[in-house]
Structure 1
Amino acid sequence: MDDWLSADNIVAVLTAIVGLVVSVGVVWYERRVLRRKRIGYRVQMDTPIGSDDPDGETGTTNVRLGLFNDLPDMVDATLVLLRIENDGGESIADSDYTNRDPHRALNVVFAGRLVRGVAVTQADTGSLMDHFAPVGGEGGVRHEGNVIHLPRVPLNRGQHYKLLVLLTGGHVGGGVRITGGIRDGVVVPNKAMPVDAAPPLFSRATRWITILLTVCVTVLATIIVVREDAPPPLDCATGRLTVTGSTAFAPVMKEIARHYAADCSGSEIKVEADSSDRGVRDLAKAGEAGHGSAVVAMSDGPRPESGPSKLRENRIAVSAFALVVNEAIPVRDLTVDQIRDIFRGSVVNWKDVGGPDRPISLVSRNSESGTRDIFRRRVLGGASEPGFTSRDCVTKNFGADPVIRCELDSTEDVLSEVGQVPGAIGYAELGAAKASPHVHILAINGRAPSTGADGDTRYPFNEIEYAYTYGTPDADSLTASFLHYLRLGPGQAIVASHGHLPCDTPAGFLRCAR
């Protein structure tokens, strides 16, 4: 809950709420204001046309136009241009006016002034003018006192007409209002504009709505761009997990563990690789002790069939392994038969397989190594390697031993030792072998090691990498989440980057199904 209540999240939620309110307001404004029937009116001109203003009521320079200087009752005359328009969302019919008098619709009232004459001008269409003429002595535009009576004029959306009104008895700027009503609508004053001014492109409401929505979008976009933390995968889980087993696959698992922990906060994944067989045994012991759900064992190849029955396998990738020799040995290719002769101890000098006159030193893995077991099954035809005869991989423990052979605990140790001993040969995972200095990789029967989709499937030293769990992990557990990340999520790309072929790819599926 505390993680959710971050500043970014609060700002994002508030911005989204503002955007939602604005959107709802737009809909409301459109349905309840813009789409209702509405007649608006505004004074576009109110100017004096009489003689001098003796009282100075206009507040100007006290000079009028003087059009009626010869008419004593017109010395205070004013001229008003009034625009009446349908600025709503619907057309207005003559039946929409609510005045009980069938010949009247609206009343224009001038406070403090007397209407002396009125003319209708600038109607949108010629047919609109017909509604202002009296019929049979009834209707039309009439005035009495300070009031003009307007007939029932139908107005389509956007239509308007103007009244040019001559008044006396008052001063410029006197109040002007229109009374009357329309069914399901309103009659309201609009903001006055000069007669020659163009109407604004957008209304005030439209401008404010545009500004608010722009601010909302900008804030949300800024949060998305600026925030550094990417959203975690959907199946993230928290807790602790130990990954044990294969040292050959350990570099892959260490990198995937780092990426998972970075993507999924609250998770702790420890990689403690020793060997495939030992990792499987440790998993079984952990399961029997009741905490096997927090352990994953990686194995180069399948576990022995006689192992614990509660272990569940997950096929992860096809891994390629390689024979490596010290860089001082120019041999680049060996047949399977030559390799078997070397590792049974019947060939002990490189000159017997096309190399220099130098003793062969066998650098092997210990008996718990999955890589060693793959080498025995895939290359040696099931035969075992000769016994352990050297502690330092250089000298024999006993002079009578036929060959120098040492055993080391990890892939890294094997590659390091082969790189230091001039006549050494060993085996390791392909990616690690390629990255190791002072060694080169041997082809087998003329075929180079590869796990790519277009690689030579006849290369013998390949095997499937397995991830074992004790029973089926709970769906919401860290173990299940990590395996999904490894097989189907971002971990799949990491596996491929290390030179392995993920099982859950089209090419890998066929290879892993064998």
Structure 2
Amino acid sequence: MKKVIGLAAAIGLMTTSLVQADSTITVSGSTSVTNVMEVLSENYKQTAGKTVEVQGTGSSAGIRAAKDGTSMIGMSSREVKTNEMSADTKGTVIARDGIAIAVNNSNPIKNLTKEQVAKIYRGEVKNWKEVGGENKPIVVVTRDTASGTRGAFEDILKLKRKVNGIKVSAIAATAQVGNGNGMVKTIVANNPFAIGYISLGSVDSSLKALAVDGYKASDNNIAAGDYTIARPFVLLMKDDVNKEAREFVNYILSDTGQNIIVNEGYIRVN
């Protein structure tokens, strides 16, 4: 009898574990999207009682995870290329975000043109005096190559070049690399001559976001199309993903979810 009870208890525990695993929604990808996704998941757990596990692994990794099914939902903070998708994987835009050009608070520069920003990142402009600032060398800070923010930044500013017929980054090899918005913020906030780019929703008082072509990086200017260094936040799912994952995405697209997106500093899509 004891063995039977023990076996029944073991089966019960296994069943409970499987139910818990099935009810957990897994999300991975862009570190930029991760910030707002964690807030959305916390609110969703309070209202729907469902657990959402969020991992910031980078946009490219998130796209792959959705495509191969290792995550129910993948996150990308850039447009997803056709050759990255599979026939049974679909993308949904849940928000829009500006990419802020950030400098140290002590930097007197308030505005740059897109062309000036591009030249700084190509290494063609190396001193702040060339763009109206002090006679000091520019410390360029970029993101790692797997970053969706970097991918969007390079696409928007045309920071690609061809080498032997293959497109590669045109960002200067001397640029410092920050792994995530937080690292870029830390470098720029602690170096008076640094320039970096981060998600607009991550901008705080530790640094200064520059106007570009005379337009401040703001929700209104992005929505109007005046501030053009902007990108979508995309969620990717396979067609056969379970209903729990789809319900979570529907929650994000609902008025409640979109209000959370706005409160976190991003632009709603409906």
Match of 1:460 in 2: 228
> TM-score, normalization: structure 2?
0.83
**Cα distance between partner residues in 2 of 1:355 and 1:456:** 29
Partner of 2:252: 486
Contact 2:159–2:170, Cα closer than 8 Å, also in 1? no
CA gap 1:453/1:430 in 2 versus in 1, 3 angstroms: closer
Alignment identity in percent? 28
Q: Tell me if structure 2 keeps the 8 A contact 1:246–1:274.
A: yes
Q: 1:246 to 1:355 in 2, by over 3 A?
A: same
- Within the alignment, does 1:366 sit opposite 2:144 as a pair? yes
Change (3 A) 1:454 1:330: closer
CA deviations 1:46-70 (Å, max 9, x no partner) are xxxxxxxxxxxxxxxxxxxxxxxxx
**Amino acid corresponding to residue 346 of structure 1 in structure 2:** E
- Using CA pairs below 8 Å that are at least 6 residues apart, which structure has the higher relative contact order? 2
Matches for 1:226-305 after TM superposition, within 5 Å: 239-265=23-49, 267-285=50-68, 287=69, 292=70, 295-305=72-82
Shift of 1:472: 4.6
Structure 2 counterpart of 1:282, which letter? Answer: A
Name the counterpart of 1:184: none
Instruction: Work out the CA distance in 1 between the residues paired with 2:155 and 2:85.
Output: 22
Q: Which has the higher helix share?
A: 2
Distance (whole Å) between structure 1 residues aligned to residue 91 and residue 234 of structure 2 = 6
2:201 alignment partner, one of 431, 439, 456? 431
User: Once the 2 structures are TM-superposed, how far is the Cα of residue 381 of structure 1 from its aligned partner?
Assistant: 5.8
CA displacement 1:459-503 (0-9 Å, x = unmatched): 1111121100122534xx210110011111521110111222221
What residue in structure 2 maps to residue 420 of structure 1? Answer: 190
Counterpart of 1:306 in 2: which secondary structure? helix
Distance in 2 (alpha carbons) for counterparts of 1:316 and 1:410? 21
8 Å CA contact 2:123–2:172 kept in 1: the answer is: no
CA contact (8 A) 1:415 1:436 kept: no
Q: Partner residue of 1:317?
A: 95
1:243–1:325 distance in 2 versus 1, CA, 3 Å: same
Task: Confirm whether residue 446 of structure 1 aligns to residue 214 of structure 2.
Answer: yes
Q: Deviations over 1:13-69 (max 9, x none)?
A: xxxxxxxxxxxxxxxxxxxxxxxxxxxxxxxxxxxxxxxxxxxxxxxxxxxxxxxxx
Between the aligned partners of 2:146 and 2:57, the Cα distance in structure 1 is: 9
1:469 aligned partner: 237
Q: Distance in 2 between matches of 1:264 and 1:364?
A: 39
Alpha-carbon spacing, 1:486–1:453, altered in 2? closer, same or farther (3 Å) = farther
1:342 corresponds to: 120
After TM superposition, give the deviation of residue 308 of structure 1 in Å: 3.5
Q: Could you tell me how far 1:455 is from its partner in structure 2?
A: 4.7
CA offsets 1:284-323 (integer angstroms, 9 cap, x no match): 23x2xxxx5x521111122221113122111111211110
CA positional deviation for 1:379: 2.3
CA distance in 1 between partners of 2:235 and 2:205 (Å) = 26
Q: CA deviation at 1:274?
A: 2.2
Amino acid in structure 2 at the alignment position of 1:354? G
Counterpart-to-counterpart distance in 2, 1:373 and 1:316: 18
The 4+ residue runs of structure 1 with deviation greater than 4 A are: none
CA RMSD of aligned residues (A): 1.9
Show structure 2 runs of 5+ residues with no match.
Answer: 1-21, 162-168
SS of match in other structure, 2:232: strand
Query: Which one of the candidate residues 351, 365, 377 is aligned to 2:129?
Result: 351
Quote the Cα distance in structure 2 between the aligned partners of 1:454 and 1:341: 23
Alignment check: 8 A CA contact 1:339 1:380 kept? no
Q: What CA distance in whole angstroms lies between the structure 1 residues aligned with 2:222 and 2:55?
A: 33
- 2:173 maps to which residue? 388
Take 1:357 and 1:415, find their aligned partners in 2: how far apart are those partners?
Answer: 23
Q: Aligned partners of 2:32, 2:101: CA distance in 1, in Å?
A: 14
SS of the residue 1:297 aligns to: strand
Alignment CA distance shift 1:305-1:454 (3 Å): closer
Contact between 2:97 and 2:230, CA under 8 Å: does it hold in 1? Answer: yes
Instruction: Note closer, same or farther for the CA distance 1:352–1:427 as it changes in structure 2 (3 Å cut).
Output: same
Look up the match of 2:180.
410
For residue 302 of structure 1, what is the amino acid of its counterpart?
A: E
> Which residue pairs with 1:496 in the alignment?
262
Evaluate the alpha carbon distance shift between residue 298 and residue 279 of structure 1 in structure 2; reply closer, same or farther with a 3 A threshold: same
Q: Is the 8 A contact 2:122 2:159 kept in 1?
A: no
Return the letter of the residue paired with 1:481: E
Could you tell me the TM-score, scaled by structure 1's length?
0.45
> 1: distance between equivalents of 2:223 and 2:249?
26
Which protein has the larger Cα radius of gyration, Structure 1 or Structure 2?
A: 1
Q: Distance in 2 between matches of 1:298 and 1:335?
A: 30
The amino acid across from 2:154 in the alignment is R
SS at match of 2:83: coil
